[in-house]
Structure 1
Amino acid sequence: MFKKKHVFILLCLFLGLQHIQAQGFFRRGNNIKNLENFDKNRWSWGYFLGFNAYDFKFDYKEHPTQDIIIDKTTGFNVGLIGNLRLNDYMDLRLEPGVMFTQRNFMYPEIPEDNLREVKSTYIHIPLLMKFSTKRLNNFKPFVVGGVSTSINLSSNENNPDDNSVGEFRMNTNTYYYEIGFGIDFYLYFFKFTPSIRGVFAINDELKRDLDPNSPYTGNINSMESRAIFINFTFQ
């Protein structure tokens, strides 16, 4: 069954599509171009709101009888956009934002104290290259890719306590590569862009316990985030 947050996401998508349809994007014979000169500006600015689903990829030293179970939740994104036009089909984008998420860990091989609630607040800074098609009336599909870094404000990296007293720790800084796609819709007064991106960490994020044989961290070779972002951009 859908959770309330999933229903809210679908409702946002439905209302957005209804608004776009109401402005004539899918009507045949609609040749009126909104914001015809918008993409000719060297610089443009905006903001985004969205949702995220963070997960972890584990690499074990020795494969356990049962993998660590991760209960993922839907988080929230908010941030700003700076766009530099390079030519008619390429843009360089900086999209600093704040991502809120939570992942719950279950260690099935540990009989007691086997649940960890990991809440994370990321300052996420991606540098992206956007490759667009030719504008088709009032919409323009694109693909986007690039690299990013984040600062985990909830990492607990410098906390002297570890899992022996219930504290799960992560490294503060993480690096990623990103790839995704979306569609620019040119409305009467602004450009609206729904997009989806995959985000994949390239460094180990786990801060290990002091005990090298810790049942929580001792068998983990690396722990890397991966996430899906669904963002709604307004420029």
Structure 2
Amino acid sequence: MKQRFIKILAFGILLSSNLQAQTFNNLFRTKDRQDNLEDFDLKKFSYGFYLAANNFDYKMVMNPIFGMDGNQNLVESKSTYSFGAGLIGKMRLNEFLDLRIEPGLHFVQRDLTFNTFEHNSQYSGGTNYNLPFDPITNPSDEQINKVVKSTYIDIPILLEVHGDRWYNSRPYAAAGINYLVNLQSNQTSTSDNLLNTFRSTTHNFGWSAEIGIQLYFSRFKLTPAIRGTFFTNNELVSDNATTQPYWTPAISTLQSRAFMLVLKFE
């Protein structure tokens, strides 16, 4: 995850550098320089939209009985890159503070690999933690590898703190809380992983932190930013009681985390 974050950060810095290099003469020149959109940030309310490149992953805590073999985790999560888009609503509080709401839609896919079949078959006779079950000796690829697709409606409320304008730019940082609805959660489905249906919670909560730089052009404001979003609730929905303990019993806690490169237009 650290490597992915560094890659996203480097890409964001490179993109921001290219944008600034291409517009340097217009934005930062000191001779005959004109400040763009001088009154834009004095408005009580402003609006815009954003595009986002996302990297979603799961943070998992394993069950020590069904999810670990010694120090080895038996479930692996692989993230993929995806995209999202949303709207921006901003309210000016004072010279240095803004309140923002940025509802968006994010399309996400993650891959889970369950290497639990050989290890957990030893508990087929039943224990204090599970009922007796018929072991699966030759699991199919769909039973081992789960493709988890999610569509999140993300509603973050962020408090933005920014510095003074430097020529036609202004740095800022923001943080706040998120309410996220997973439209592909399958939470109410009666099928579970035995029938290749991975279930998670529909309604979720989290928090976000963001840094970026606002660039003022003659007709609009462009903001490249990097955002991290971290779920606070356990998204895991347990398999049915009669299903073998190869899947959700191996996981104690499942929480999404995401890093985003965001481009905002206001």
Corresponding letter in the other structure for 1:69 = E
Fraction of identical pairs, as percent: 34
Tell me the equivalent position of 1:92: 99
Moved more, 100-109 or 23-32: 23-32
Corresponding residue pairs, total: 227
- C-alpha distance after superposition, 1:68-122 (max 9, x if no partner): 2222111111110100000111000000010011001111233622000001100
Aligned-pair RMSD on alpha carbons?
Answer: 2.1
| Structure 1 CA distance for aligned equivalents of residues 43 and 22 of structure 2 | 23
1:154 aligns to 2:202 (yes or no):
no
Tell me the equivalent position of 1:3: none
* Counterpart secondary structure, 2:23: helix
How far is 1:176 from its partner? 0.3
1:205 aligns to 2:254 (yes or no):
no
Runs of 4+ in 1 over 6 A off after TM superposition: none
| Structure 2 CA distance for aligned equivalents of residues 18 and 91 of structure 1 | 24
1:70 aligns to 2:77 (yes or no):
yes
Equivalent residue runs for 1:56-67 within 5 Å: 56-62=58-64, 64-65=68-69, 66-67=72-73
TM-score normalised by structure 2 residue count: 0.79
Question: Do 2:16 and 2:224's aligned partners in 1 also have CA atoms closer than 8 Å?
Answer: no
| Structure 2 CA distance for aligned equivalents of residues 15 and 27 of structure 1 | 16
Tell me the equivalent position of 1:80: 87
Instruction: Choose between structure 1 and 2: higher helix proportion.
Output: 2
TM-score normalised by structure 1 residue count: 0.89
How far is 1:29 from its partner? 4.4
* Counterpart secondary structure, 1:185: strand
| Structure 2 CA distance for aligned equivalents of residues 153 and 17 of structure 1 | 35
| Structure 2 CA distance for aligned equivalents of residues 213 and 141 of structure 1 | 53
| Structure 1 CA distance for aligned equivalents of residues 30 and 113 of structure 2 | 53
- 1:140 aligned residue (170, 174, 181): 170
* Counterpart secondary structure, 1:44: strand
Tell me the equivalent position of 1:123: 153
Moved more, 61-70 or 223-232: 61-70
For structure 2, the residue ranges without an aligned partner over 5 or more in a row are: 1-7, 119-138
* Counterpart secondary structure, 1:24: helix
Tell me the equivalent position of 1:226: 257
Change (3 A) 1:170 1:23: farther
Question: Do 1:124 and 1:151's aligned partners in 2 also have CA atoms closer than 8 Å?
Answer: yes
Question: Do 1:23 and 1:187's aligned partners in 2 also have CA atoms closer than 8 Å?
Answer: no
> Between Structure 1 and Structure 2, whose CA radius of gyration is higher?
2
